[in-house]
Amino acid sequence: MTERIFNFSAGPAVLPMSVLEEAQRDLISLPGVGMSVLEISHRSKTFEDIIEAAEADIRKLYNISDNYHLLFLQGGASLQFSMVPLNLLEKGGQADYIITGAWSKAALKEAKKVGQTNVVATTEAENFRRIPKQSEFNLNSEACYVHYTSNNTIFGTQWQSEPEVGSVPLICDASSDVLSRPLDIDKYGLIYAGAQKNMGPAGVTMVIIRKDLVKEPSPELATMLAYKTHTETKSLYNTPPVFSIYIVRLVAKWLLGLGGLEVMEKMNQEKGHLLYDAIDSTEFYKGHAEKDSRSLMNVTFRLPNEDLEKKFVKEATASGLDGLKGHRSVGGLRASIYNAFPKEGVEALVSFMKEFERKNG
């Protein structure tokens, strides 16, 4: 058994041990199949069962109704930055964007290439340390959709509940908090998430789209970029990322085995509180996010100066706490503690923090 360290990486990120073990066990030969999942046809009954089980389990976890398609696509969340406007931003129409971080800005950049956009709220002037309040939104009732980012991976902020947008379809980039808590899917027009933060390995992107939003694509739209192509072929228009979908399927099964998303949310709250309490209990550490905007997935914090931050990262890494260096746009430290990140790892970080402050504070 090779020793594992605590992996605080923001993504690709830690996966459940039981998932890795099952994948390892079945890598040479899937039970009853005699071939590895890496070698089977995406048109085989074996893979059909895998992709159907992945969809069925995620539908169960989120309680998704028949009004929605669930797709497994490629191109990452970044391709959704383009696919959303290419499919949903009608000619002559406009789209509303709420800007809460670098990924929202990246989404907006792609939409601007397609049509008219409005920034209906932004907290950039405050280096994205908070989620804007409903009273700050300048929504357009005519908009084709409102786009927001539920968890801001880089800045460590998270929406505590959805923005209210009336009857305009709500579009969410949930890449870094997908499956971390229950959601009322009926509030959404479309949700997308790259798998590699909280749901599986890199290579697959989940899209949940309300059926009435899947329109006849304009003839000039590339086939692969039309949602309709993928809803009509159940994500099998071309060869899908078979292995990534297989792992997502195992992760979904793991979540159901834990008791579902209410249980997962409780576990995430416990881990988050442990770490935020450690930050709040001293002046030595300072959280980047405002308290009411804090993320349970990515915890961002600073030390009194950059030299100490460098020293912290170096010594933490040497003690088996990996991936804690913050993104350059925030600086300091970032502990990503996604679903699969164990509570023992948070406890280990908290004791490391106490010890580090004792020696350097």
Ligand X SMILES: *Cc1c(COP(=O)(O)O)cnc(C)c1O
Six-digit token string for 205: 């992107």
Q: Does 46 bind ligand X (CB under 6 A)?
A: no
Is 171:154 a contact under the CB 8 Å cutoff?
no
Active-site residue among 173, 254, 271, 325?
173
Gap between the Cα atoms of 99 and 128, Å rounded: 9
Asked, as a colleague might, if the bond just before 12 is cis with ω within 30 of 0, I would say yes
CA angle 216/72/106 to nearest 5° reads 80
Nearer to ligand X, 327 or 354 (CB): 327
Q: Which of the residues 67 through 96 are near ligand X (CB under 6 A)?
A: 76-78
Give the strand pairing for 170-173 and 190-194: parallel
Q: Does 153 bind ligand X (CB under 6 A)?
A: yes
Nearer to ligand X, 78 or 118 (CB): 78
Active-site residue among 197, 254, 271, 325?
197
Q: Decide if 173 is catalytic.
A: yes
The one-letter code for the residue type at 183 is L
Q: Does 30 bind ligand X (CB under 6 A)?
A: no
* Residue of closest CB approach to ligand X: 76
Is 357:285 a contact under the CB 8 Å cutoff?
yes
**Candidate residues 149, 158, 244, 339; the one interacting with ligand X per rule CB under 6 A:** 149
The dihedral built from the CA positions of residue 240, 243, 247 and 253, taken in this order, carries a sign that is positive
**Candidate residues 158, 175, 295, 336; the one interacting with ligand X per rule CB under 6 A:** 175
CB 216 → ligand X: shortest distance, Å?
A: 27
The residue among 29, 28, 7 whose CA lies nearest residue 17 is 7
Nearer to ligand X, 153 or 268 (CB): 153
Give how many residues touch ligand X by CB under 6 A: 12
Which residues would be at the binding site for ligand X (CB under 6 A)? 11, 76-78, 103, 149, 153, 173, 175-176, 194, 197
